[in-house]
Structures are given as C-alpha cells and as structure tokens.
Amino acid sequence: MKIGFIGDVVGKPGRLMIKRHLMRLKQEHFIDFMIVNYENASHGFGLTQKNCIELLGYGIDMMTGGNHSFDKKEILTLFDSYPLIRPMNYPQATPGKGIYQTTILGNKVAILNLMGHYTMPLVDNPFTMIISVVASLKAQGIKHIIVDMHAEASSEKQALLHMLKEDVSAILGTHTHVATDDLQVVDGCCYVTDVGMTGCRDGVIGMDNEVPMKRFLTGLGGHFNVPDTCKTLLQMVVFELDDQGRCIDAEKIKIYDDKPKIVTKAWMED
C-alpha cells in the first residue's frame, strides 16, 4: 500500500494548494490513503467544520492535529462526525481520540497522533505512552502503524525513531513548518524529522512576516495572520508499506506554486 502524508496545512493558501494538486498527485503516485495535519488549516489556527469538509472533499482520508487542535472551539463537536484525531497524550478527559484505525487493501492500519514536551502544552509523557500503545496494537495483530509526531524539538522526534523503528511503519514529524532534509527508511521504518508546511512560503512559517519581525525587533507580540496572496508551497511524503507493515520505499514531493513537482527519494539505510 502507498500512503501520502501532508504536514501542517496553513490557512487558505495551503488549502488551495491541496485543491489544485492533490487529486493529480494521488493518481500519479498510486496513493491508497491520504493523511493531512489540520491544526493550522483555518486561518493558521485550528480547524472549522467548513474547512474540515472542504479538505476532505479534496481527497483527504483522515487528519491529525497538534497543539492548535482546539483553537477553534467548534472542533469539540467534530471528532465524532469526521475522521479527525488529536494528540493522544492530552489528558484522558480531553475530547477526541489520538488513534484512528482503518483497513487499507485488506490490512489493518493504525494512525497515531503524538505531541512532544518542549514548548508544548502540558501533556502526558509521549514516550512512555506510545511505547505501551504500540505494544497493545501489535498484540492485536496490527502491523501497519503510522505516527504523526507533533513536536518542536528535533531531538524528541529522533529519539522516538530509535525507540520505535522496529515496531512502527512510519514516523512523520510535524509542527515546525520548516522541512528537514532527512527523509530515510531505517529498519523498515519511514522517518523524517519534519515534513514541512503547505501554504505561503514567502513569509514566516506560513504567516505574514510583519508581526514576527516586530516581535524580534521590539519584543512586542501581535496576532499572526495568513496573507491573502503569497507565493505557495506544497510538501508531501509518500511511502510504500509491505504486508508486514515495513516501509520499502519513500519519497518527498514538493510543488512551488504551479511549477512542476520536485521528487526526492528517501535514503534507504542498509
């Protein structure tokens, strides 16, 4: 099976890039299931029902979240109606779930959403939690396990790779919006520290650059805004899993505006 994963979608420019390119990319790369991180999809902060329906209509099968999952309070009523998850290590009483299970080409698949500690909201220990959760899934015979690790610190993501590389199919980093150049397949696990955002590429992490520059120059904050018009970028990882849940191939796809796609193969570790 082939899985596509798009990281943080930032506002309307990100949504429009998905509208413009995703259906074609799914056909060209024979993608069986499409995952997107939604936490910045509605003007940079959270997800509305309108934008949820919009994204699912573009060919997305399910969506993961992060520290901005609850910025739009209407999401509290969406978890039971749409294929959405939020980080599993939020407190147990938090609305929503952190695991999505489905069947793809006859194989049971589990998609997990996890959030790191550094600079993030107060959550349970992601490392001890996911080790026990993965062990439980494997005990149920689920071999295809995909993790969205939403974290600021690259060290947390890399440590997770070494903890889980023999037990999960893929670990895809999100949150920083800046893609890392380390897509690799290690011991049958697809890994990248950060997939990178889909949205405006000529500002600061998808936002207009005025407020970030003011903050760095003066120490005074402000509300981040997604520009109405900008130069855009779509970033996606596509990885192939065998029947045992091991990754056998992976590649990174980038599209700048409407220019031809750029495809980079993952490093295959012997």
Active-site residue list: 68
Structure-token pair, residue 145 = 């396990």
Rounded CA separation 6/121 (Å) = 23
The two structure tokens encoding residue 245: 């849940």
Buried b (16+ CB within 10 A) or exposed e, 97-110: ebebeeeeeebbbb
Sequence letter at residue 1: M
- Residue 115, by phi and psi: left (phi above 0), alpha (psi -120 to 50) or beta? beta
How far is Cα 111 from Cα 130, in angstroms, rounded to an integer? 12
- Burial class of 254 by CB neighbour count within 10 A (0 to 12, 13 to 18, 19+): middle
Which residues lie closer than 8 Å to 233 by C-beta, 6 or more apart? 17, 196, 197, 198, 199, 200, 201, 254, 255, 256, 257
